[in-house]
Amino acid sequence: MSKIIYTYTDEAPMLATHSFLPIIQSFASAAEVEVEARDISLAGRIVAAFADVLPEDQRESDALAELGELAKTPGANIIKLPNISASVPQLKAAIAELQARGFALPDYPNEVMTDEDADARARYDAVKGSAVNPVLREGNSDRRAPRAVKEFARKHPHSMGAWSAESKTEVATMGVNDFRSNEKSVTLPADDELTIRFTATDGSETVLKDGLKVLEGEIVDSTFISAKALDAFLAEQIQRAKDAGVLFSVHLKATMMKVSDPIIFGHVVRAYFSDTFAKYGSQLLAAGLDGENGLGAILSGLDELDGADEIRASIERELQEGPALAMVNSDKGITNLHVPSDVIVDASMPAMIRTSGHMWAPDGEEADTIAVIPDSSYAGVYQAVVEDCKANGAYDPTTMGTVPNVGLMAKKAEEYGSHDKTFRLESDGRVDVVNAAGEVLLTHDVEAGDIWRACQTKDEAVRDWVKLAVTRARASATPAVFWLDAERAHDAELIKKVEAELPQHDVSGLEIRVLSPVEATKLSVERIRRGEDTISVTGNVLRDYNTDLFPILELGTSAKMLSVVPLLAGGGLFETGAGGSAPKHVQQLVEENHLRWDSLGEFMALAESFRHLAVNGNRRAAVLAETLETATAGLLNENKSPSRRAGEIDNRGSHFWIARYWAEALAQQTEDADLGERFKPVAAALIEGGDDIERELIDVQGQSVDLGGYFRVDAELADGVMRPSATLNAVLASI
C-alpha cells in the first residue's frame, strides 16, 4: 500500500480539505493508495508544543516534527497546503481560542519575568512565524504555471489596471547601513563549530549562540541593519509621502522573518507616530505597546493606561496630519500599520503593481504610494517592475510570457534559516563569529538597537539547486538566469559555487547566465512582454517573492502554480500555492456559507504526488495522475472554478466537478481496464445526480454558518458545512 500524507492546515485551505479529502481518499483507494491527513495547523502546533505539560486527554503528537523526519527519507510523499505563519497577534488569538475550548495553555508572555515565562515564550516562539516550511523543505523548489493554467489565463484574462508615465508610485529603500550593504560572507573550508559572541564597549562578553555546527563548503553570512539609519530613513520617507501627496505604505515579511521584521515594523509605527511616542513613549513602552504588534495592538491596549483618551487623540491627530496611510480595509479603518501580518511584501507588492501602482486610500479610493521596503537586498526588483510599467504600461495576460522559478531553500537556506541567529543588540559593541580555533571569521561594530543576524547555506543544497536549474532548463527548453548580485557578499560566494558546479552537468545547447536581481528583472519583463519565458533561479527569499510577483501578474493569483520540491533523500514534497487571501474567504463562508477558495493548486499537487508514486512502481497511480490532469483541464475549460459571489459555484461545487470529470476520465481511459470498469458506475452516478448535487450545494448558501472556531474548527460542524450534498456523499461512499 502506497501512502500520501495530506497536511491539514489553516483557514480556507483547511476548510477546503473537509470537502476535498474524502474525494481524494475515495479515488486513491482504487489504486491502493492510502491518503492520511496530518494536522500541522497553527492550533495543532501550539497544542503539540505543550504536549508534555498538558493534561493527558489534551495531548497531541507533534505532526510537524514527525513529517520533518519523514521528509528526510526516500519514501516521503507529502502534499503541503498553505498554513498560517503566525505573527504575535495571530498567535495570541489562537491561544485565546484554544483556552476557551478548555486547553490548559499559558498566556503568551509579553515580558519574561520567571522561568515559567521563559519556558512558555520559548515554546510559543518556536511555533510563530515560518515554523512549518523550513522543517518540511528538505529540498529545493521547482515552481511553474502548468500549461493548461497558462492557456486558460490567456483565453480568460484577469483585470489589469492601467499605468501612467506620470504615476508617483515608487519603491523606497535604504541602500546603506542595511542588511545588504553591511553583509559579510565566508565559505567554510572544513567542518567546524562556531560561536556568535557580543563584546560590549566596556569589554564584557556575551555568547549569543554557541555550538553552531557547520559543514565543509557551507556559506555563513553575517550582517546588521542600523537602528539609527533605519529611523532616519523612515522619517525621510514619511515626509516625502506627505510632500508628494501620496500614500505611505510599508512592505515587510513579519511572518517568515519572525524576529527581524516585527522589530522593523515597530520602528515604522513609532516613526509614523513620532509625536505620540515622543510625548507618551515611556508609558506606551512600559505597557509593551512598542508598535511591533501594530497600531491595532496599541489602540486595543490603551484602555489599560492612564490618559488613554489623550494618547488616542494624539494618534488620531497624527493620522490626520501625516501622509495618508495605505489601507487594508478602508471601510473599517484598518491601515497598513494596524497588524504586521496584514501586508506581506510578496503578496502586497504584486497586487499594487497589478492595480496601476495603487493601494487603497482612507477615502476608499485608489491612489499612488511610496512603497517602503527598508532593506535593499531585493527592493530593486519591485522598483524595476514599477519603472517598466511606467514606461510601457500594464502587462497583457493574453500575450505575456511566464517566469517559472527554481528556488534555493533546502536545509533552511539563507535568510529564512536566520531566526535562531538574529538578535537586537542592547548596547554598543562588536559581534564576532568565531570558529572552534578561536579565529574571528566575521565581525561587525554595532550600536544599541541594531538588528544583527547570521545565515547559513549548505553546500549540498547549493549543488542540488544548480542541478535542478539545469534539469528544468533542459526539460522546458527555456533560458535560465541565476539572480545573483556580485556586489553582495553572500551572492559573491554563491556565484563561485555556481560557476564551479555548472561544468559538472551537461549544459550544451542551454542558455544559462548570472545577472543581478535588478538586471534579471529587467531582462525577464522585457522578455515576457514579447511572450517569451525565462526561468528565474533564485535564493530563498527571492523564490518567495518571484513565485508571487510573476504569477499574480500572469495568472491573477499565485495559488494556481505547480510547486514541486524534489527532496534531497529522494522523496517528494508537493505544495499547493499561496494562502494570503484565505482569511477573507473564511469570513465570507461564515457570513454567507460561500467559500471562494480555489483548490486548483491542490488538484495539480495531487497529480504530481500520484506521478511520484508511479515512478516508484505504483502503475495505477500513473493512471490517476493522467486522468486527474485531464479532469483539471476540463474544469478550467468549462469554467467550473469558484465564483466570488454567494448563490453561485463555490469551492465545494468545484470539488464536485473535479470528481465528475475525474471519474469520467478514469472510465474512458484504456490503460487499465479494471480501473475503467470500477469508475464507469461512479461517473454515471455523478452525471445522473449532477443536478441534485448542484442544487444541494447552492441551496445552503446565503446564510451564516457556525464552524465552532477559527483556528481550530469543530470537525463535525466543518464536515457538515463543507459536505452538504447527500447525493455526492453517497456516490463517494459507494467507491
Question: Mind listing the pLDDT tens digit for each residue in 643-679?
Answer: 999 999 999 999 999 999 999 999 999 999 999 999 9
The whole-angstrom separation of Cα 678 and Cα 30 is: 8
Closest C-alpha to 149, from 551, 625, 597: 551
The stretch 521-543 carries a mean pLDDT of: 97
Residue type, 146: P
Residue entry with cell 553570512: 221
The whole-angstrom separation of Cα 575 and Cα 562 is: 7
* Residue 208 pLDDT exceeds 70: yes
* Residue 389 pLDDT exceeds 70: yes
451 forms beta bridges with 225, 424
The whole-angstrom separation of Cα 168 and Cα 363 is: 18
The whole-angstrom separation of Cα 66 and Cα 59 is: 15
Nine-digit cell at 326? 495605505
Residue type, 693: I
CA angle 524, 525, 526 (to 5 degrees): 90
Give Cα 163 to chain centroid, integer Å.
27
Q: Of the ranges 285-294, 481-490, 568-577, 608-617, which is most confident?
A: 481-490
Residue 418: its pLDDT value, please? 85
- Residue 654 and residue 640 in contact, taking contact as beta carbons nearer than 8 Å: yes
Q: Collapse the DSSP code of 549 into the 3-class scheme (helix H, G, I; strand E, B; otherwise coil) and give the result.
A: helix
Residue type, 265: F
Q: Is the dihedral of CA 192, 196, 202, 204 positive or negative?
A: negative
The stretch 714-724 carries a mean pLDDT of: 97
* Residue 300 pLDDT exceeds 80: yes
Report the share of the chain in percent with pLDDT over 70.
99
Q: Is the dihedral of CA 537, 543, 549, 554 positive or negative?
A: positive
Residue type, 262: P
The whole-angstrom separation of Cα 437 and Cα 443 is: 16
The whole-angstrom separation of Cα 117 and Cα 138 is: 32
* Residue 579 pLDDT exceeds 70: no
Nine-digit cell at 447? 550600536
- Exposed, middle or buried by CB within 10 Å (0-12, 13-18, 19+), for 245? exposed
Nine-digit cell at 467? 542541478
The stretch 211-237 carries a mean pLDDT of: 98
Nine-digit cell at 606? 495531487
The whole-angstrom separation of Cα 16 and Cα 18 is: 5
The stretch 221-237 carries a mean pLDDT of: 98
User: pLDDT tens, 310-333?
Assistant: 999 999 999 999 999 999 999 999
Nine-digit cell at 552? 499574480
Q: What is the mean pLDDT of the chain?
A: 94
- Exposed, middle or buried by CB within 10 Å (0-12, 13-18, 19+), for 52? exposed
Residue 419: its pLDDT value, please? 83
User: pLDDT tens, 333-347?
Assistant: 999 999 998 888 999
**Please, which pLDDT band fits residue 586 given cuts at 50, 70 and 90?**
very high
**Please, which pLDDT band fits residue 582 given cuts at 50, 70 and 90?**
low
Residue entry with cell 534559516: 417
Residue type, 383: Q
* Residue 1 pLDDT exceeds 80: no
Mention every residue, 6+ apart, whose C-beta is less than 8 A from residue 306: 283
- Residue 590 and residue 646 in contact, taking contact as beta carbons nearer than 8 Å: no
The whole-angstrom separation of Cα 595 and Cα 445 is: 52
Residue 88: its pLDDT value, please? 85
Closest C-alpha to 369, from 381, 382, 352: 352
- Residue 263 and residue 424 in contact, taking contact as beta carbons nearer than 8 Å: yes
Closest C-alpha to 372, from 233, 257, 485, 277: 233
**What per-residue string of b and e applies to 519-549 under the rule 16 or more CB within 10 Å gives b?**
bbbbbbbebbbeeebbbbbbbbbbbbbbbbb
- Residue 95 and residue 105 in contact, taking contact as beta carbons nearer than 8 Å: yes
The whole-angstrom separation of Cα 605 and Cα 576 is: 6
User: pLDDT tens, 189-204?
Assistant: 999 999 999 999 999 9
Q: Which residue has the higher pLDDT, 693 or 305?
A: 693
Q: Collapse the DSSP code of 640 into the 3-class scheme (helix H, G, I; strand E, B; otherwise coil) and give the result.
A: coil
**Please, which pLDDT band fits residue 617 given cuts at 50, 70 and 90?**
confident
Q: Collapse the DSSP code of 336 into the 3-class scheme (helix H, G, I; strand E, B; otherwise coil) and give the result.
A: coil
Residue 578: its pLDDT value, please? 65
The stretch 234-252 carries a mean pLDDT of: 97
The whole-angstrom separation of Cα 375 and Cα 596 is: 35
